[in-house]
Copies of this chain bind each other. A is one copy, B any other.
Amino acid sequence: MKRFTFFFLVAVATMGGIAALVAPARGPAEGESAPAFVTEIPQGYRDWRWISSAHEAGKLNSLGAVLGNDVAINAYREKKIPFPDGTILAALHYRNVPSAENNKVFGQAQSFVPGAPTNVQFMVKDSKKYAATGGWGFGHFADGKPGNAAFMKTCFPCHEKAKATDLVFTRYAP
């Protein structure tokens, strides 16, 4: 009875858009097929350790870094594949912009630095909660707001191509 009441309250609250105030984000109940996404920004991620940097040219024109919590860092250093439950990866993305002040010192246009932040993306390993998407929950936040469902559905099909590295593209920079 208690259990029913709890889920009912959550359902009502979700309809009202205030689920976050009542209970932490939850994956789909057993038997449900909708994939679960990461709906809250993991706390303290900006203090996590650095895994690597990345630059995407072309339309993305992005420069950023991937940070990891302790579980992630240890898994990388111990070359644990698949990553253990509890792993969280944070990809911090910014516009890739030329640095006028650096170029002035160098005497030529060669220096690129992170400009305005564009988004932060997360991969959270929980092999039960996110079983439908390879054990990973995907998150995308721009200005603190999560990506919509249609956008979030594009994460897994792409990451699934990196099967050999447990759906993770980023390598550890020594």
Contacts and interface: CB of A to CB of B under 8 A. Distances in A.
A144 interface: no
A33 B54 CA distance: 42
Interface in A135-174: 158, 161-162, 169-171, 173-174
Interface in A28-85: 47-50, 52-60, 63-65, 67
A134 interface: no
A55 B58 contact: no
B50 A65 contact: yes
Interface in A104-133: 104-105, 108-114, 117
A63 B58 contact: no
Interface residues of A, number: 41
A54 B112 contact: yes
Given A101-B162, A105-B161, A110 B57 contact: yes
24 contacts: A47-B49, A49-B49, A49-B50, A50-B50, A50-B67, A52-B65, A52-B114, A53-B53, A53-B54, A54-B111, A54-B112, A55-B55, A55-B63, A55-B112, A55-B113, A56-B111, A56-B112, A57-B110, A57-B112, A94-B173, A101-B169, A105-B162, A113-B170, A114-B173
Interface of A: 47-50, 52-60, 63-65, 67, 92, 94, 96, 99, 101-102, 104-105, 108-114, 117, 158, 161-162, 169-171, 173-174
